[in-house]
């Protein structure tokens, strides 16, 4: 359900950190990518009673503390793993329904979205409480994806199931979005903030469009228009904005992947 390379090299795993790959699906797994092979390093299973676990919908690798990976699952939980020690740091019942995505903000703060239609923020220093910062306008409309703005942690973005909207949230003013980007003509499937700009975000969807938006200081009465658009000709399922090469965005559609120059 997701792939990520190790986000940094300054950990005790640094001998191989640039070649470490994590994947989620039936379990969270860690791999070492070598020149001629890919070797399985670890399989993380938190189930004490069964050889099976609830499928993982997504995960996020903590950039500030790369020993931490947070996973989200259909069993309503989020699990925080210490991958260096191979142990669970904590497991939280995060939502009332399936958790579809998770994103780190700081070293101990993460957020998640769920089929229950809420965005919740958690702090590992206070595991008993969470803050709901947004709920779907129509009750129980699932939220599918979450992206936290790494250049300005006040902002995050989420998308709703079968909706053409990208919802921009400011964690200082819960419940009311600061902007809703509504120029897609069909459901949005993927979102990614620019790696080196706090004001730009890319979205892609079933209308075949990849759109780049610049968020204004104040949204006008007629909404926000994208600054750039690209049509792939097919429904776009996924996108990534390269952190190492911020002029490039990758999109996936049909049986193709394309690299777009921003």
Predicted confidence (pLDDT) per residue in 110-160, tens digit: 999 999 999 999 999 999 899 999 999 998 899 999 999 999 999 999 999
Q: Quickly list H helices, 152-201.
A: none
* Band of residue 10 on the pLDDT scale cut at 50, 70, 90: very low
- What is the reported pLDDT for 16? 47
- Please give the Cα distance from 123 to 121 (Å, whole number): 7
Q: Which domains does the chain have, with CATH numbers?
A: 2-148 (2.130.10.10)
* Band of residue 216 on the pLDDT scale cut at 50, 70, 90: confident
Average pLDDT over residues 177-204: 96
Computed over every residue of the chain, the mean pLDDT equals: 93
Q: Is pLDDT above 80 for 18?
A: no
Where b means 16+ CB within 10 Å and e means fewer, 78-92 reads bbbbebeeeeebebb
- The model's pTM is 0.93
> What CA dihedral angle connects 240, 188, 253 and 76, to 10 degrees?
70
Closest to 46 (Cα-Cα) out of 1, 92, 95, 12: 92
Give every CB contact of residue 14 below 8 A, 6+ residues apart in sequence: none
- What is the reported pLDDT for 89? 96
**Inter-residue contact 100 to 115 (CB < 8 Å):** yes
* Band of residue 225 on the pLDDT scale cut at 50, 70, 90: very high
Across 31-40, 48-57, 129-138, 194-203, least confident range: 48-57
């Amino acid at each position: 359900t997701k792939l990520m390379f190790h986000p940094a090299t300054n950990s005790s795993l640094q001998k191989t950190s640039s070649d470490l790959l994590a994947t989620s699906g039936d379990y969270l797994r860690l791999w070492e990518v070598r020149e001629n092979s890919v070797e399985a390093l670890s399989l993380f299973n938190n189930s004490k009673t069964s050889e099976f676990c609830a499928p993982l919908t997504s995960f996020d690798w903590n950039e500030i503390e790369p020993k931490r990976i947070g996973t989200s699952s259909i069993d309503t939980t989020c699990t925080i793993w210490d991958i260096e020690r191979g142990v669970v740091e904590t497991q939280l019942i995060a939502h009332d329904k399936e958790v579809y995505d998770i994103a780190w903000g700081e070293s101990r703060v993460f957020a998640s979205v769920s089929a229950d239609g809420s965005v919740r923020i958690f702090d590992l220093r206070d595991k008993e409480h969470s803050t709901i910062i947004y709920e779907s306008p129509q009750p129980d409309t699932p939220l599918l994806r979450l992206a936290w703005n790494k250049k300005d942690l006040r902002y995050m973005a989420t998308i709703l199931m079968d909706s053409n909207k990208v919802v921009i949230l400011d964690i200082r003013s819960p419940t009311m979005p600061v902007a809703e980007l509504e120029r897609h003509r069909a459901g949005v499937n993927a979102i990614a903030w620019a790696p080196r700009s706090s004001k730009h975000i890319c979205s892609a969807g079933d209308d075949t469009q990849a759109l780049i938006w610049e968020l204004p200081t104040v949204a006008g009465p007629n909404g926000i228009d994208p600054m750039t658009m690209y049509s792939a000709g097919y429904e776009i399922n996924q996108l990534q904005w390269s952190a190492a090469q911020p002029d490039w965005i990758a999109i996936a559609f049909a049986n193709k992947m394309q690299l777009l120059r921003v």
